[in-house]
Amino acid sequence: MPPASACPEAHLKAREARAAFVRRGTAASIVTTMLVAVSHTVGGGPAPAPSIVFGMMVLLIAPSALLLRAPVPRRFRARRTGGLARIALTTIAAQLAFHAAFSALGDPLEGSSVVGGHHHGAIVLSGGAPHVEDPGMFAAHAVAALTTIAILAYGESVIRRGARWIRRAARVFAPAAPLRRIPRVLASARLRIREVASWTPPVGLRGPPVFS
């Protein structure tokens, strides 16, 4: 039976693992969704509504967390390659799915116009109109996919290395700590000890009385 002190430590580690799981999934979801939305708009597609982007972002948290749930050990090179291929396939699938969703839904306010006189008019909504694909759209999504793959695969390690370098630089350029001075109390105590050790009681030259 494990000691009682091991149980709180195990619970703490499990809580930290769950928190890291959620943080990774949320960060990956935000990066993926924002890059898809920006690339889709830059490529000439309709700008997605903020509610659509937020909904896609929330839906992608769990799959992203499962995709990045555990780091691959360094000794398993095949798994590292397999993990990179898995991230690439998932990112490409997300790009295609989000492109289709953004093209179908688009911006509800885009293309609205009022036709008619002063009192009568008709509002025409063309946000859901199909978008004609062009090389610019594919290029924008390709750049976004490559950027997403690089961030998801190497972003965390790059951030850790950067933080390590910053800590090392801070140690190198940090001002030297001042020399510690001996407190006056300790100094006076040492002097008293020396005085007591060097002091000897006076000894008379007269010996004991002689009994005759």
Of 67, 55, 52, nearest to 151 by C-alpha is 67
The model's pTM: 0.56
How much is the average pLDDT of 142-168?
Answer: 86
- 39-59 as b/e: b if 16+ CB within 10 A: bbeebebbbbbeebbeebbee
The most confident of 9-23, 26-40, 197-211, by mean pLDDT: 26-40
Residue 68 carries which DSSP code? T
Structure confidence by residue, pLDDT tens digits, 114-129: 444 444 444 444 444 4
The Cα-based distances of 132 to 12, 92, 210 in angstroms read 53, 20, 133
CA 72-66-148 angle, to 5 degrees, is: 75
Q: Residue 183's pLDDT is what? A: 53
Q: Helix or strand or coil: residue 112?
A: coil
β pairing state of 113-115 and 122-124: antiparallel
| Confidence check: pLDDT of 3 > 60 | no
Domain boundaries, given as residue ranges, for the chain: 13-112+133-160
The most confident of 63-67, 98-102, 112-116, by mean pLDDT: 98-102
Q: Residue 189's pLDDT is what? A: 58
| Confidence check: pLDDT of 179 > 50 | yes
Structure confidence by residue, pLDDT tens digits, 72-84: 445 444 445 557 7
pLDDT above 70 coverage of the chain, percent: 58
Question: CA-CA distance, 162 to 167, in Å (whole number)?
Answer: 9
The most confident of 131-135, 182-186, 193-197, by mean pLDDT: 131-135
Residue 86 CB neighbours (<10 A): 13
